[in-house]
């Protein structure tokens, strides 16, 4: 791939790298003045600067990999997987305002303002430690995503992409702190938006334009992914049938049998995905399974596409396969749509509880996204956005920054989605997830002309560095403000705190390299683990701590501890030993919500409420919404409101 780089491509890369480093040097004098400047840019930014930082930070190297994967697999309905950021539409005018009024540097510091006593101190230490760990972890998976990208397109070892670009980024983070981060984010956000728009438009044009994409999707045959099971015999006899999901009527079947060989043996017809691609566009009478068909050979362990000629496009079907000539059958897909037209419909539900996009999952995502805006920490994105909220010069600027930054993120997701649909029309036969996850990058490297590829890669560096710089500075803030300054040296001078912040930045960087090498190429699995499972049990407590005065530090702390254990049990341990079946994502979420509530609600009610003096002080400063009647009445009685 490097051979495709023309001198103009290298020039783009050189100019971009110099721009970022010079930016850090330019703002060095501002960043070194105080802890507030190094971590919050002095709390004086107009709304559009933190807004651009919100957008740039949430556009990372792994983001197009993730979005490319869900859109390729689920069509436009996959956009709902990215809808969790809609919580910011509510958060911008609820929790963002409450948090900005508190003047806390970090979420850990806010815990000590909201709660009091020993529980408060334990919570601050816990949240600070968790955030130092999480920022290293996030840096690790984002860094290794860059390593994977460089490995695929340049053939570099994974560690080279992981270490090289993060090491460049740390130069301007060390020099200027948050001033360097937010100013670089503004430039990187502009570059990234131009690049995303350009490459997405190029991808749609390569597929023939919007009308051609729609027309080809409407005319393609049906398909579903199947990972061929292991076989004991040297040669097994396979066949496939497609049934009506409601009536069990057979709608399509193989006109004979195909051959299944053990893992590792090659098909004499050549790559299976090329056979599947031809079948997807083949004109055939309804009722035929086109691939795998008579005389085809498939290999055990291989991910392939089963292709058949549909009868009615919107009919839901059940796909079954047999490896013993039709004596026994296993279900490959339930409630699967016919044809490919469903990919154009963002509401292509496959039933209330079954299929790849059930209504229950859709409702769960809406609840998580919208109600989450009333809490703090209900999304992993909250912690980075909390820093941007506090860096805004007013409460209004803080609200506008979150709202506008998230709007730009949703527009970006839509552009990616259309480009990935175009990619599906060009390459509808890819069955392995790790291959189609790279769809948007493939569009850029494959279809952009020489001379623009360098700009494309500079844009990739922009989205990478914006995320890396944010989490380096954020992790260092928790280590400096909530550990060193709060527990070790409360009398430290501003100069010393800035230097401690720089040392902490290097420690976080080193930790991220370790996590990146541990994660390796299993990015998606680790991402789901961190984003979803580890947060499900504390999602509701994160809302309760904002809206309910009676919720105390012991209840919140017990929710965190219980969630760590319950998430492992429900998701991995109990299904592994057959105690419970493997649950779909939405059932895991609701199960963890209920099980965790059985622990933290009694703990809250059986322990004392927070001290009223402490609550009144917090209420007067932050003006929270929700169930704060007793505290508000006490504040009024004291003449504080």
pLDDT in tens, 3-51: 567 788 788 878 887 887 787 778 877 878 899 999 999 999 999 999 9
Interacting residues of 313 by C-beta distance below 8 A, sequence separation 6+: 218, 337, 338, 339, 341, 342
Q: What span, in angstroms and rounded, lies between the C-alpha atoms of 312 and 149?
A: 40
For residue 541 the two structure tokens come to 């407590």
Tell me which residue has tokens 């460089």: 150
Taking only the tens place, the pLDDT of each residue in 401-414 is: 999 999 999 999 99
Q: Decide: helix, strand or coil at residue 161.
A: helix
Interacting residues of 499 by C-beta distance below 8 A, sequence separation 6+: none
Interacting residues of 283 by C-beta distance below 8 A, sequence separation 6+: none
Taking only the tens place, the pLDDT of each residue in 273-306 is: 788 888 999 888 888 999 998 888 889 888 899 9
- pLDDT at position 522 over 60: no
Percent of the chain with pLDDT over 70: 95
What pLDDT sits at residue 314?
62
Q: What span, in angstroms and rounded, lies between the C-alpha atoms of 330 and 338?
A: 19
Please report how many Cα atoms fall inside a 13 Å half-sphere around the Cα of residue 480, on the Cβ side. 30
Q: What span, in angstroms and rounded, lies between the C-alpha atoms of 176 and 38?
A: 7
Distances (CA, A) of 499 to 4, 391, 467, 521: 43, 20, 22, 35
What pLDDT sits at residue 223?
93
Start-to-end CA span in the chain (Å): 66
Query: Do 482 and 489 meet the contact criterion of CB atoms below 8 Å apart?
Result: no
For the segment 512-516, the average pLDDT, to the nearest whole number, is 89
Query: Do 105 and 476 meet the contact criterion of CB atoms below 8 Å apart?
Result: no
Taking only the tens place, the pLDDT of each residue in 434-471 is: 788 889 999 998 888 877 888 888 888 888 998 999 99
Q: Has this prediction a pTM greater than 0.95? A: no
For the segment 616-628, the average pLDDT, to the nearest whole number, is 96
Q: Decide: helix, strand or coil at residue 582.
A: coil
Q: What span, in angstroms and rounded, lies between the C-alpha atoms of 66 and 636?
A: 50
Tell me which residue has tokens 């919580």: 87
State which H helix or E strand residue 303 sits in: strand 303-308
- The two counts, helices (H) then strands (E), for the chain are 27, 9
Query: Do 69 and 436 meet the contact criterion of CB atoms below 8 Å apart?
Result: yes
Q: What span, in angstroms and rounded, lies between the C-alpha atoms of 218 and 373?
A: 38
Q: What span, in angstroms and rounded, lies between the C-alpha atoms of 538 and 378?
A: 8
Give the pLDDT band (50/70/90) at residue 311: confident
- pLDDT at position 272 over 80: no
Query: Do 552 and 608 meet the contact criterion of CB atoms below 8 Å apart?
Result: yes
Interacting residues of 406 by C-beta distance below 8 A, sequence separation 6+: 54, 55, 85, 86, 88, 89, 92
If phi > 0 it is left, if psi is from -120 to 50 it is alpha, else beta; for residue 388 that is: alpha
Q: What is the DSSP letter of 206?
A: H
What pLDDT sits at residue 142?
86
Least trusted range by pLDDT, from 48-57, 158-167, 208-217: 158-167
Of 419, 428, 421, 152, the residue nearest 274 (C-alpha):
428
Tell me which residue has tokens 């933190």: 50
Distances (CA, A) of 255 to 32, 127, 288, 303, 326: 75, 61, 7, 22, 12
Torsion angles phi and psi, residue 620, rounded to 5? -65, -40
């Amino acid at each position: 791939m490097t051979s495709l780089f023309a001198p103009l491509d290298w020039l783009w890369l050189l100019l971009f790298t110099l721009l970022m480093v010079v930016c850090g040097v330019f703002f060095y004098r501002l960043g070194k003045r105080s802890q507030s400047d190094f971590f919050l840019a002095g709390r004086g930014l107009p709304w559009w600067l933190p807004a651009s930082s919100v957008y740039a930070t949430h556009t990372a190297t792994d983001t197009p990999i993730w979005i490319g994967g869900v859109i390729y697999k689920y069509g436009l309905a996959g956009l709902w997987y990215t809808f969790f950021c809609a919580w910011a539409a509510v958060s911008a005018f609820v929790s963002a305002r409450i948090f900005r009024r508190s003047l806390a540097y970090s979420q850990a510091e806010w815990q000590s303002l909201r709660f009091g006593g020993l529980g408060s101190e334990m919570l601050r230490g816990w949240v600070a430690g968790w955030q130092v760990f999480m920022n290293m972890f996030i840096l690790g998976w984002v860094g290794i995503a860059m390593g994977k990208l460089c490995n695929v397109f340049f053939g570099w070892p994974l560690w080279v992409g992981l270490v090289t670009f993060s090491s460049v980024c740390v130069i301007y983070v060390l020099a200027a702190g948050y001033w360097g981060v937010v100013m670089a984010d503004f430039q990187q956000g502009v570059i990234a938006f131009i690049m995303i728009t350009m490459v997405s438009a190029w991808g749609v044009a390569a597929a023939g334009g919007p009308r051609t994409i729609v027309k080809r999707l409407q005319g393609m045959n049906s398909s579903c992914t199947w990972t061929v099971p292991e076989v004991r015999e040297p040669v097994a006899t396979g066949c496939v049938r497609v049934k009506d999901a409601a009536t069990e009527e057979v709608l399509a079947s193989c006109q004979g049998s195909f051959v299944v060989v053990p893992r590792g043996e090659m098909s004499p017809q050549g790559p299976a995905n090329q056979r599947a691609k031809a079948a997807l566009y083949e004109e055939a009478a309804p009722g035929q399974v086109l691939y795998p068909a008579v005389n085809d050979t498939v290999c055990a362990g291989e991910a392939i596409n089963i292709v058949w000629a549909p009868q009615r496009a919107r009919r839901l079907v059940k796909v079954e396969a047999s490896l013993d000539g039709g004596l026994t059958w296993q279900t490959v897909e339930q409630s699967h749509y016919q044809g490919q037209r469903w990919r154009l419909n963002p509401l292509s539900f496959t039933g209330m509880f079954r299929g790849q996009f059930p209504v229950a999952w859709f409702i769960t995502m809406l609840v998580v996204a919208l109600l989450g805006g009333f809490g703090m920490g209900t999304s992993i994105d909250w912690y980075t956005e909390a820093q941007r909220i506090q860096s805004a010069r007013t409460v209004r600027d803080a609200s506008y920054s979150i709202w506008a930054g998230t709007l730009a993120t949703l527009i970006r997701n839509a552009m990616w989605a259309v480009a990935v649909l175009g990619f599906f029309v060009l390459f509808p036969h890819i069955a392995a997830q790790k291959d189609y996850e790279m769809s948007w990058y493939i569009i850029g490297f494959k279809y952009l002309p020489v001379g623009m590829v360098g700009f494309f890669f500079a844009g990739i560096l922009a989205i990478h560095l914006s995320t890396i710089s944010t989490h380096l500075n954020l992790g260092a803030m928790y280590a400096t403000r909530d550990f060193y300054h709060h527990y070790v040296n409360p009398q430290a001078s501003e100069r010393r705190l800035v230097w401690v912040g720089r040392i902490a930045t290097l420690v976080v960087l080193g930790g991220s390299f370790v996590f990146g090498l541990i994660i390796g190429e299993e990015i998606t699995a680790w991402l789901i683990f961190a984003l979803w499972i580890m947060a499900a049990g504390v999602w509701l407590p994160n809302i309760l701590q904002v809206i309910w005065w009676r919720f105390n530090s012991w209840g919140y702390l017990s929710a965190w501890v219980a969630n760590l254990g319950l998430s492992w049990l429900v998701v991995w341990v109990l299904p592994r030993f057959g105690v419970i079946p493997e649950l779909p994502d939405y059932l895991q979420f609701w199960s963890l919500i209920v099980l965790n509530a059985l622990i933290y609600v009694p703990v809250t009610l059986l322990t004392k409420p927070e001290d009223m003096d402490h609550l009144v002080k917090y209420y007067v400063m932050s003006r929270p919404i929700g169930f704060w009647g007793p505290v508000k009445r006490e504040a009024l009685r004291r003449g504080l409101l």
